[in-house]
Structure 1
């Protein structure tokens, strides 16, 4: 069952739990104005016991450096809780931000949330973040 966690005029976000993953779907720009909302929503979910996240960006038409910054910030928080993070459904424009920043190799990026949830999460998957593991 999908649960709304942000419902603003400029952005909506909801989550669902699938195969041990908390799939957070963002709908709207991920920028200086909306990034703090995503950060707080993920922190709240962490506080409720969620540890393994998929950030679905399929409905994000625009992301700036503040959007990427919030992804890095929540990654650090998730890592502190021995959780994991995968990124899914990244539009080409948004993927370019990951490429230009050199962060693409630091994340597991999946074509879709369905692909990302196929395997169950494992503890310590962010232990080598921001560098990919050599396995």
Structure 2
């Protein structure tokens, strides 16, 4: 799993992931989001455009990041999920909690 972090001018941190988000890579993603929030970036977008696969561990990492961001007064949103990721969100009813946005720019456009 590779990742890039971009800090936008509006205070939003964008974490762009590349590779599978599974039980092997989920702990790193969880730690990265926790570190972002700990550094004062409580509004986080996780860009999943280059994540072809998400399992329950990956979903758990995103939910943990969401909880961390919300406890800090912010939010975590996901952008550009693949069809497989959308299916996982639908099957687990997590699409209500982690609403997918088409792009990272749209995720906090109205916030």
Tell me if both proteins adopt one fold, taking TM over 0.5 as the criterion.
yes
Task: Give yes or no for contact 1:35–1:66 (8 Å, CA) kept in 2.
Answer: yes
Equivalence for 2:11: 20
Q: Does 1:84 align with 2:48?
A: no
Equivalence for 2:37: 46
| Greater fraction of residues in helix | 2
Unaligned segments of structure 1, at least 5 residues: 1-10, 122-135
Could you tell which deviates more after superposition, 88-97 or 17-26? 17-26
Structure 2 length as normaliser, TM-score? 0.92
- Secondary structure in 2 matching 1:96: helix
Residue-pair matches, total = 110
Instruction: Note the C-alpha offset of 1:74.
Output: 1.1
Unaligned segments of structure 2, at least 5 residues: none
Structure 1 length as normaliser, TM-score? 0.77
Segments of 4+ moved more than 4 angstroms? none
RMSD of the TM alignment (CA)?
Answer: 1.2
The structure number with the bigger radius of gyration is 1
